[in-house]
Structure 1
Amino acid sequence: MPGSIGAPLVENTTDRPAVGACSISDICRACLRRARSDQQAAAALARIDGWIAVEERCEAERRRGEKTRPSPPGWLIQHGLNGTNVDAVRTGGCWAATGSGRCCPVTRQQALEAPRQQALRQQAPTCVHCRADTALGVPG
């Protein structure tokens, strides 16, 4: 009972034996458990370091791609389904041209000539979304 003469002041409430009661095999088992947990922690840190390295490589590749990416064209001409007639003249940033597959980049001069060539055939196509005629200075 605590507090009585000759009894310890604090009871041993843990599962460990009191100091001095450990055998060498108990100490060895504890050391092995500690070593195993240290190895597991080192393996987990190595995995995390690997993930960080992969993410850093991906980020560096993305930045390198942004630097080497060509600038978007200033003007686009969208051809019709037959590939010969001009469907529309668009600015380079026109959202309606994305995913079309029928647009090709052109110079400003070619973009100015396309509506004139089509006007001779009684067709003057312009994009209603990006208003390429206004950007080119051609009356629409």
Structure 2
Amino acid sequence: MMSTRQSALTVHAVHLDVKVASRWEAVAHLGAELERTGAAHTGYADSLVARERRFSTYLGHGIAVPHALHTHDYLATGEGIVFARFATPIPWDDEEVSIAVAVAAPASAQVEILCRLTATFLNPGHLDTLATSADPTAIARILQHT
């Protein structure tokens, strides 16, 4: 049974027009930002890469949600995310990704956060703002209330 928790999600960073050439550069960038902002301890970025190598975090519609392996959840300092919108879509499996949201959270919270993010991506108004807004505050506001 899923919790009905209503707490705001901490958005540690919103990066627009990120210039990366590959999924691996994107995951490394996001992991480094989770560590730099204090959302996760050193080593969390490596866990994002390890998770991505096992199973793609591509959701569809140009969106990926990298998150760490459950065995490394102790490296998360709480529950938070980093948002990146890429200057140009990047190859991700056989698709292209324009938006990635990296999650730092204990294993017990990851599924709920992923479900909440997915629901946000299904809202056309929110998705339009995430895909086009030049205002990091507007993007963070949407994600915080996911």
Q: Same fold (TM over 0.5)?
A: no
The one of the two structures with greater contact order (alpha-carbon pairs below 8 A, sep at least 6) is 2
Higher strand proportion (structure 1 or 2)? 2
TM-score (norm 2): 0.20
User: Which of structures 1 and 2 has the bigger CA Rg?
Assistant: 1
